[in-house]
């Protein structure tokens, strides 16, 4: 026959094991995977020599390059090239 004290110890051990199992499975579930992609902006700019960079009040990032002006909206780059016939 198991004594009352031994029974309490076994219950604590069982409880500890159950809690440990629950926690060991919940930690990987709670972790989120984040994938970071480093955009290769320099390959898409009008020129690889950047003279100035500015972020406007709308959040656009403007690059002044030797080849023209480029606007980056976080997804795409729009080129504004100099047209000598336009001014």
pLDDT at 57: 95
pLDDT at 63: 93
Residue 41 neighbours by CB distance under 10 Å: 13
Residues 14-25: pLDDT tens digits?
A: 999 888 888 777
The total number of structural domains that make up the chain: 1
Provide CB contacts within 8 A for 25, sequence distance 6+.
Answer: none
Q: Which residue range forms the structural domain that includes residue 52? A: 41-86
Six token digits for residue 68? 């023209």
Q: Are 50 and 62 in contact (CB under 8 A)?
A: no
DSSP state of 51: E
| Cα–Cα distance, 78 to 85 (Å, whole number) | 20
| 11 within some domain | no
| 18 within some domain | no
Residues 25-36: pLDDT tens digits?
A: 766 655 667 776
| 12 within some domain | no
| Cα–Cα distance, 41 to 47 (Å, whole number) | 11
């Amino acid at each position: 026959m198991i004594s009352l004290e031994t029974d309490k110890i076994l219950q604590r051990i069982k409880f500890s094991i159950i809690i440990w199992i629950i926690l060991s499975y919940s930690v990987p579930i709670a972790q989120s995977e984040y994938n970071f992609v480093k955009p290769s902006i320099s390959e898409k700019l009008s020129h690889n020599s950047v003279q100035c960079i500015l972020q406007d009040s709308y959040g656009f990032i403007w690059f002044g390059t030797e080849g023209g002006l480029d606007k980056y909206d976080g997804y795409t780059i729009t080129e504004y090239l100099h047209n000598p016939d336009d001014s």
